[in-house]
Amino acid sequence: MKAIAASLILFTLTNLAQAGAQTGPQAERLPDGEVTRLGGWSAWLTGPTNRYAHGALGDRIEASGFAASHAGKTYTFELDDSHVFEDRRVRLVELDGDPSPECVIIRASQTGGAAIAIYDIGPDGISLKAETPDIGRPNRWLNIAGFGDFTGRGTTEIAAVVTPHIAGSLRIYEVVGRRIIERARIDGYTNHINGTRDLDLAQIADVNGDGVLDIALPRIKDGSPAVVTFAGGKAREL
């Protein structure tokens, strides 16, 4: 089985002209942002702002919104002033089988820190589909590791490391309707170096050939490599 994350083709800002986006203030791209594409859709972060002074990704410029484009039509979404997208990409992932993909982004609150936010794209525009609770403190972040069947339940799940610079809590989430449910976790791992732009220190693959995706990533204590499986809903190292 291949990770859904592997199907995302990331483009640098030099490819933005191909995205067919609108012009104007809301269309201003995040300077270090990426464009993702999936099944004829493309998406990118917009609205650079300095209203959230964390800097986990190398500077204190985050996004206030995002845009998604398909078949010549562009949809936009803007957060309120108490939130930003503390991310570099909009992850286009098919989670519910409808004609349009979901948009999965790391959203941060001025008071509560980061959360996973999932957005739907419908005929009337973009709307929030589901979200995890905020971590609970400002300047606390998480980084998404990938998507796929990590527990063997046969569903597309989300792997993320919550506070990858502190506790390094690797967690598996499942989207059920309009809820994001945590299925399993294990602490002591990271997929990001604080202050850098690289979001991809974790890799997804079926390492032991059991038909369930595993996660390869560094241990937080010393950076040594590890492979974690959540097969059967139980976390352990291979």
Of 129, 110, 99, whose CA–CA distance to 49 is shortest?
A: 110
Calculate mean pLDDT across residues 49-66: 97
- Give the tens place of pLDDT for each residue, 168-203: 999 999 999 999 999 999 999 999 999 999 999 999
Bridge-based pairing of strands 203-205 and 179-187 is unpaired
Beta strands in the chain (DSSP E): 9-11, 35-38, 41-49, 62-70, 73-78, 83-85, 91-93, 102-109, 113-122, 125-131, 142-148, 157-162, 169-176, 179-187, 203-205, 214-218, 225-229, 236-237
What is the three-class DSSP state of 182?
Answer: strand
Q: Nearest 5°: CA angle at 84, between 219 and 19?
A: 95
69, 27 contact by CB (below 8 A): no
Q: Mind listing the pLDDT tens digit for each residue in 142-176?
A: 999 999 999 999 999 999 999 999 999 999 999 99
Comparing 18-27, 86-95, 218-227, the range with the smallest average pLDDT is 18-27
Sequence letter at residue 203? Q
Express each pLDDT in 209-219 by its tens digit: 999 999 999 99
Which residue range(s) make up the domain with 139?
A: 4-237
173-196 burial code (b ≥16 CB/10 A, e <16): bbbeeeebeebbebeebbbbeeee
d(CA 73, CA 22): 9
Domain count of the fold of the chain: 1
Residue 219 tokens read as 């241990």
